[in-house]
Chains A and B, each alone.
With several copies, the nearest count.
Chain A
Amino acid sequence: MSRPVIETTPAPAATRVLTYAEALNEALREEMRRDPRVFVMGEDVAVWGGGGVFGVTRGLVEEFGPQRVRDTPISEEAIAALAVGAAVAGARPVAEFMYADFMGLAMEPIVNQAAKIRYMFGGKASVPVVFRAQEGAGRGNAAQHSQSLEAWFCHIPGLKVAVPSTPADAKGLLVSAIRDENPVVFLEHKILYNTKGPVPAGDVAIPMGVADCKRAGRDATFVGVHTMVHKALAAAEILAAEGIDLEVIDPRTLVPFDLDTIVASVRKTGRLVVGHEAYERCGIGAEIIAQVITAAFDALDAPPVRVCGENVPIPYNARLEAAALPQVEDIVAAVHQVVA
């Protein structure tokens, strides 16, 4: 590993429009240039069409070579476990799982090793690994390729969990995740890869644990992740036409979680709608509600409402799939319910 560490001077905040996938790619590239310990591994991340089935690792093998951009066999448990071992031994792996659903194969090293090593070892090790994967439905990939499993990881102390919804957040959070001394489960969303947005050039880490208000509003607070942020923004337009002003907050990371921003919003609006594509039962929506209830029960003028994935495996058929997922009109209806 003879590449020099390239010192990056924070670039002038030139902003370009990039896709979510391009923004992630830029984060990986810049971090790999900055720190020779960073490397990428996963299935089809190097050779396949020039970098990953969604293009996130495009061009990396050309720039950094096959040692640092490693195609792996189909061995999800080992991908995770090797990444953990390499991290403990001083490398900074970014391990990719092609679909979050496949992380069922890798829960042991993520949960019993990565998450616990620092604590179990009395604070004398760190595990700077990023587990990247994409979640979400909407493309007819059916039950084994469409799940959103963030709640599993949020449940486990020792892991951090990021869920960017925009290209700028994707880049800024991935930079932070790679620099973090802790294991980060970095969950992208397949539907978002081709969405575009402004992304500042250069060194633009977004700290973990800082929510982003994507739309200010007075009448109700929506908290949601990934596609639900965009659906909520669409719902807000519909609601605005009716004179209802929806505030849309994207926590961006679920662990750590910026409860303060959300509580402040709820204290302002008195109403809360929470949304995610993941199965409703034991999803993060319940946790967000439980935390807000504890912190601001008095401020709530109506019971919070969840707009979540149905408790059903994701079906293939388009109509059924749409019915299984929370939609813009479900958000509108939920907001109607809380402001009623």
Chain B
Amino acid sequence: MARKLAVALSPDQLQSMLRTMHMIRQFDLRALDLYREGAMRGSTHPYIGMEAVAVGACAALRPADRITSTHRGHGHCLAKGGDPRLMMAELLGKATGYCKGKGGSMHIADVEAGILGANGIVGGGIGLATGAALAAQLAGRDDVTLCFFGDGALNQGILHESANLAAIWKLPVVYICENNQYAMSARADKFTSVPDPEVRAKAYGFPGVSCDGMDVMAVYRTVADAVARARAGEGPSLVVCVTYRYFGHHVGDPLNYRDKAEVDAWKTKDPIDRFQADRLAAAVTQEIDAAVAFAKASPEPEVEALMEDVYA
């Protein structure tokens, strides 16, 4: 079947992606402030550092496509078009919030917008996403579901059961593992039995790939391929995005399990800085290209011009 592979995004789309990455970062910085000042309850899990994943992945979707999210869900929600006002109101438990104040950070959802919810259960969204993909298949639609989950969820049984089902039924779902190196204090490389979790896709006979989760365009291209495959009826894929969370798991994380040097090293790969720099460089490149094109397309001077402009 012919697949539509990752297409070039328009400058407007790219601009909007950069804006969403900033939005996610600022949203979560503000959520941390609100939490620290006691305006929030429960816990909040910042997505800061991981913005490229949600934004790159969701750029590959159509509005009718769906996502499932995690406890660390603000980024996914914003990237899929969630309204920051309704989200923020929900964090404060207000009647105007997405969940009328009943859900809080971990249960924000916007089913109309295809956001089937953050989830307080690690792995809780995996079966839901697979089921949503089944619903699309049954309805004869080519909608795709993206299923976000962390490296910690890799070892939940539901992933195994869902992946097998998605494979045998060729369901249009893309499993996106956000490998941010830790599940609370548990290092991905110690608690998951394989260094590269994408090999687990082999156990189900579907493609497994990894990409640089700090590079929004790399995420976009990788996920777009998987989405195209799913949309074409060829079944699920696993995409592992290698990334990092800058902050603690939640406010109050003792952070004794990792050192500052590691954090600093990752920050040098900051996804926003990088995309911004790439965008700026690209803009300059574009100008230069335009200059070259202009130059090349321009006429040679006429011979008549030889003696012109010697004097005013």
Report which A residues bind B (CB closer than 8 A): 1-2, 37, 39, 43-44, 47-50, 53, 67-68, 70-78, 80-91, 93, 101-102, 105, 108-109, 112-113, 117, 119-125, 139-145, 313, 315-318, 320
Chain B residue with the shortest CB-CB distance to A126 = B111
Give the distance to chain B from A304, nearest Cβ to Cβ, in Å.
31
Rounded to whole angstroms, the CA-CA distance of A82 and B116 in the bound complex is 13
Cβ contact within 8 Å between B128 and A316:
no
Rounded to whole angstroms, the CA-CA distance of A49 and B251 in the bound complex is 13
Cβ contact within 8 Å between A48 and B257:
yes
Give the distance to chain B from A315, nearest Cβ to Cβ, in Å.
4
Residue B30, interface by CB 8 Å: no
Range class of the B interface residue count: 35 or more
Cβ contact within 8 Å between A85 and B103:
no
Chain A to chain B: the 8 pairs with minimum beta-carbon distance, closest first: A81-B127, A85-B131, A140-B41, A49-B254, A316-B104, A78-B161, A144-B120, A85-B128
Cβ contact within 8 Å between B120 and A75:
no
Cβ contact within 8 Å between B93 and A316:
yes
Residue B19, interface by CB 8 Å: no
Q: Given A67-B138, A141-B43, is A89 in contact with B165 using a C-beta cutoff of 8 Å? A: no
Question: Which B249-277 residues have a C-beta within 8 angstroms of A?
Answer: 253-254, 256-257
Cβ contact within 8 Å between B43 and A125:
no
Cβ contact within 8 Å between A85 and B135:
yes
Cβ contact within 8 Å between B124 and A108:
yes
Cβ contact within 8 Å between B128 and A84:
yes
Residue B192, interface by CB 8 Å: yes
Residue B107, interface by CB 8 Å: yes
Rounded to whole angstroms, the CA-CA distance of A122 and B103 in the bound complex is 7
Which chain A residues border B153 with CB–CB below 8 Å? Answer: 74
Cβ contact within 8 Å between B109 and A124:
yes
Rounded to whole angstroms, the CA-CA distance of A173 and B275 in the bound complex is 57
Report which B residues bind A (CB closer than 8 A): 40-43, 66, 68, 93-94, 97-104, 106-107, 109-112, 116-117, 119-124, 126-140, 145, 152-158, 161-162, 164-165, 168-169, 183-186, 191-192, 253-254, 256-257
Rounded to whole angstroms, the CA-CA distance of A139 and B35 in the bound complex is 13
Give the distance to chain A from B94, nearest Cβ to Cβ, in Å.
8
Cβ contact within 8 Å between B186 and A86:
no
Rounded to whole angstroms, the CA-CA distance of A139 and B43 in the bound complex is 9
Which chain A residues border B254 with CB–CB below 8 Å? Answer: 48-50
Cβ contact within 8 Å between A74 and B122:
yes
Cβ contact within 8 Å between B186 and A73:
yes
Partner of A82, one of B103, B140, B162: B162
Rounded to whole angstroms, the CA-CA distance of A236 and B288 in the bound complex is 81
Rounded to whole angstroms, the CA-CA distance of A70 and B152 in the bound complex is 16
Rounded to whole angstroms, the CA-CA distance of A117 and B186 in the bound complex is 29
Chain A residue with the shortest CB-CB distance to B126 = A81
Cβ contact within 8 Å between A89 and B136:
yes
Which chain B residues border A73 with CB–CB below 8 Å? Answer: 152, 154-155, 161, 164-165, 168, 183, 186, 191-192
Cβ contact within 8 Å between B184 and A144:
no
Rounded to whole angstroms, the CA-CA distance of A183 and B154 in the bound complex is 28
Rounded to whole angstroms, the CA-CA distance of A78 and B134 in the bound complex is 12
Give the distance to chain A from B195, nearest Cβ to Cβ, in Å.
15
Partner of B130, one of A81, A143, A313: A81
Rounded to whole angstroms, the CA-CA distance of A234 and B136 in the bound complex is 50
Rounded to whole angstroms, the CA-CA distance of A49 and B186 in the bound complex is 12
Partner of A49, one of B103, B126, B256: B256
Q: Given A75-B155, A85-B128, A316-B102, is A50 in contact with B138 using a C-beta cutoff of 8 Å? A: no
Partner of B102, one of A71, A80, A119: A119
Give the distance to chain A from B32, nearest Cβ to Cβ, in Å.
16
28 example contacts (A-B, Cβ-Cβ < 8 A) are as follows A1-B138, A37-B138, A48-B185, A48-B257, A68-B138, A70-B169, A71-B191, A73-B165, A74-B155, A77-B161, A78-B130, A81-B130, A81-B162, A82-B127, A83-B131, A85-B68, A86-B134, A87-B131, A88-B132, A89-B136, A109-B158, A121-B109, A122-B102, A122-B103, A125-B116, A141-B42, A144-B120, A144-B121
Partner of A88, one of B40, B116, B191: B116
Which chain A residues border B121 with CB–CB below 8 Å? Answer: 101-102, 105, 108, 112-113, 144
Which chain B residues border A140 with CB–CB below 8 Å? Answer: 40-42, 93, 104
Can you name 19 extra interface pairs (CB under 8 A) apart from A81-B158, A105-B156? A1-B140, A49-B256, A67-B137, A74-B183, A78-B127, A84-B127, A85-B134, A88-B111, A89-B132, A113-B119, A117-B117, A120-B107, A120-B109, A122-B99, A141-B42, A141-B120, A142-B42, A316-B101, A318-B93
Rounded to whole angstroms, the CA-CA distance of A119 and B98 in the bound complex is 11
Which chain A residues border B161 with CB–CB below 8 Å? Answer: 73, 75, 77-78
Which chain B residues border A109 with CB–CB below 8 Å? Answer: 124, 127-128, 158
Most A C-beta atoms less than 10 A away, residue of B106, B110, B161:
B161
Q: Given A85-B116, A89-B66, A316-B93, is A77 in contact with B192 using a C-beta cutoff of 8 Å? A: no
Q: Given A73-B164, A91-B135, is A142 in contact with B124 using a C-beta cutoff of 8 Å? A: no
Which chain A residues border B169 with CB–CB below 8 Å? Answer: 70
Rounded to whole angstroms, the CA-CA distance of A220 and B152 in the bound complex is 50
Which chain A residues border B162 with CB–CB below 8 Å? Answer: 78, 81-82
Give the distance to chain A from B204, nearest Cβ to Cβ, in Å.
12
